[in-house]
Amino acid sequence: MRRSPNYRAGAFHNRRRGTASMPTSQRDVFDRYRANAETRRPPGPIPVVSAHREPAAGGLHVTWFGHASALVELDGVRLLLDPVWSERCSPSQHVGPRRLHATPVPLDRIGRVDAVVISHDHYDHLDMETIRSLAATTDAVFLVPLGVGAHLDVWGVPGARVVECDWGEGTEVGGVRVTAVESQHFSGRGLRRDGTLWASWVIAGEGGKVFFSGDTGYFDGYAGLGAEHGPFDVSLMAVGAYDPAWRDIHLDPEEAVRATAELGGGLLLPIHWCTFVLAPHPWAEPVERLLVAAATEGVPVVVPRVGDRVDVSDPPGLDPWWEQAAAAVHA
């Protein structure tokens, strides 16, 4: 950690000076929460696809499990991204944001997992019980940003199964290269902040390339990331949990489209929405704004149902499944 150019004075930092981490005062955000309370949850049930599928033998497939949790299957290698299977993304399972839909597949039925890839240590991306279960029931290696391995060590994950990466570092899993790259965010569980690094990830194999944003704000480095690591076949881009107070650390839908275009990001698959209420905006607004921006910029989009698997070489047409769940929001 001390050797990292992103670490100084006992903490990690974003590269762009003046970037605001989570503001210390959240009064305006809380006011917006109260004002928009009735719009932040869908009045109808969220459809979930729970079909069992055999592992894909080849090609590039993505299964979205809600929020930032997804399974990437590339060249027969299975990588689980930011898995959160707990009922709440919180330090306690008695309070905190509670999921709005069931998990599509029980964790013990997800099948073989070759690698677990973590973007950062916030509770909605790094879930202790899920990590413990995967460590006990799979042989997966855990790929994490610098410092996050300390959490896994406390939770009983053997150190030999943990690979910590700075931006620009990575490893191979079954012939698939996984590389941590720059993102613009912050970290921390409880009161301590920025003691571990945050990252987006590039997943590259013979069958294609994937960009996984994790949690990030927009910054001027996406064209450079695309030039170095792209072009990509699919980009899993955060589009939700935005607010004016969090502009530096969370993409809004229009910024997600802009970043994807600059990356050469290929098919845009939106993540970081739908599952947990983490921001004041209406529940369906992220995908509604995303589709308008993507159509304007000519960026292809796929919006799978929670639990559905997308063949990136043959993505399905647009199915506005969220409209039924959200129908009463705008009534």
Give me the CATH code for the 26-51+64-330 domain, please: 3.60.15.10
What average pLDDT does the chain have?
A: 94
* pLDDT tens digits along 2-11: 999 999 999 9
Per-residue pLDDT at 229 exceeds 50: yes
Tell me what the mean pLDDT of segment 301-316 comes to: 97
* pLDDT tens digits along 38-62: 788 999 999 999 988 899 999 999 9
Tell me what the mean pLDDT of segment 9-29 comes to: 77
pLDDT for the residue numbered 331 = 44
* pLDDT tens digits along 155-174: 999 999 999 999 999 999 99
CA distances from 16 to 19, 60, 119, 220 (A): 6, 34, 19, 9
In three-state form (DSSP H/G/I as H, E/B as E, the rest C), the secondary structure along the chain is CCCCCCEECCEECCCCCCCCCCCCCCHHHHHHHHHCHHHCCCCCCCCECCCCCCCCCCCEEEEEEECCEEEEEECCEEEEECCCCCCECCCCCCCCCECCCCCCCCHHHCCCCCEEECCCCCCCCCCHHHHHHHHHHCCCEEEEECCCHHHHHHCCCCHHHEEEECCCCEEEECCEEEEEECCCCCCCCCCCCCCCCCCEEEEEECCEEEEECCCCCCCCCHHHHHHHHCCCCEEEEECCCCCHHHCCCCCCHHHHHHHHHHHCCCEEEEECCCCCCCCCCCCCHHHHHHHHHHHHHCCCECCCCECCEEECCCCCCCCCCHHHHCHHHHC
Per-domain residue ranges for the chain? 26-51+64-330
pLDDT for the residue numbered 69 = 98
pLDDT for the residue numbered 329 = 44
* pLDDT tens digits along 69-125: 999 999 999 999 999 999 999 998 888 899 999 999 999 999 999 999 999 999 999
pLDDT for the residue numbered 160 = 98
Tokens describing residue 181: 């790259």
CA distances from 175 to 77, 78, 142, 324 (A): 8, 12, 16, 42
pLDDT for the residue numbered 285 = 97
pLDDT for the residue numbered 79 = 98
Query: Which residue type sits at 46?
Result: I
Tokens describing residue 170: 């990575």
Query: Which residue type sits at 7?
Result: Y
The answer to whether 68 and 81 are in contact (CB under 8 A) is yes
pLDDT for the residue numbered 330 = 47
Q: Output phi, psi for 30, to 5 deg.
A: -60, -35
Stronger pLDDT, 214 or 34, i.e. the higher one: 214
pLDDT for the residue numbered 34 = 75
* pLDDT tens digits along 169-201: 999 999 999 999 999 999 999 888 999 999 999
Q: Are strands 60-66 and 208-212 parallel, antiparallel or unpaired?
A: unpaired
Placement of tokens 């000519």 in the chain: 298
Q: Which residues contact 92 (CB under 8 A, 6 or more apart)?
A: none
Q: Are strands 7-8 and 11-12 parallel, antiparallel or unpaired?
A: antiparallel
Query: Which residue type sits at 104?
Result: P
* pLDDT tens digits along 279-298: 999 999 999 999 999 999 99
CA distances from 46 to 41, 99, 230, 275 (A): 10, 11, 34, 9
Stronger pLDDT, 72 or 329, i.e. the higher one: 72
pLDDT for the residue numbered 25 = 59
pLDDT for the residue numbered 186 = 95
- Positive or negative: CA dihedral 252, 90, 137, 141: positive
24: pLDDT confidence band, cut at 50, 70 and 90?
A: low
pLDDT for the residue numbered 327 = 76
23: pLDDT confidence band, cut at 50, 70 and 90?
A: low
Tell me what the mean pLDDT of segment 18-23 comes to: 64
Tell me whether residue 34 is exposed, middle or buried, using C-beta atoms within 10 angstroms of its C-beta: 0 to 12, 13 to 18, 19 or more.
exposed
Between CA 33 and CA 14 the distance in angstroms is 28
The residues with which 74 forms a beta bridge, in sequence order, are: 60, 77
